[in-house]
């Protein structure tokens, strides 16, 4: 288990990075500093919702694998 855990963490980290980068963001640099339309609401539908949920699951799995690596 100790030999395969780093490989699992690398794979999860690559998937996590890809999931975050694939998410659509309508927020520009101006809204990061307080500008923009101010609504802040966006309903996720279809593939965007699936990518969002998969990113959350991958992040949880990555955190669990890091905790297991800490224990081992």
Query: Which residue, 49, 64, 72, 47, is CA-closest to 8?
Result: 64
Global pTM reads 0.76
**What secondary structure does DSSP assign to 3-65, as a single string?**
TTHHHHHHHHHHHHHHHHHHS-----HHHHTT-S-S-------THHHHHHHHHHHHHHHHHHH
Per-residue pLDDT tens over the stretch 13-41: 999 999 999 987 766 555 556 665 556 67
Is residue 54 one of the residues assigned to a domain? yes
Which pLDDT belongs to residue 63? Answer: 97
Per-residue pLDDT tens over the stretch 49-71: 999 999 999 999 999 999 999 99
| Domain total of the chain | 1
Is residue 49 one of the residues assigned to a domain? yes
Domain range spanning residue 55? 1-21+45-72
Is residue 62 one of the residues assigned to a domain? yes
């Amino acid at each position: 288990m100790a030999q395969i855990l780093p490989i699992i963490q690398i794979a999860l980290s690559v998937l996590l990075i890809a999931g975050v980068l694939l998410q659509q963001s309508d927020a520009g640099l101006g809204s990061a500093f307080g500008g923009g339309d101010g609504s802040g609401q966006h309903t996720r539908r279809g593939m965007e919702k699936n990518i969002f949920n998969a990113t959350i699951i991958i992040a949880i799995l990555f955190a669990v694998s890091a905790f297991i690596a800490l224990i081992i």
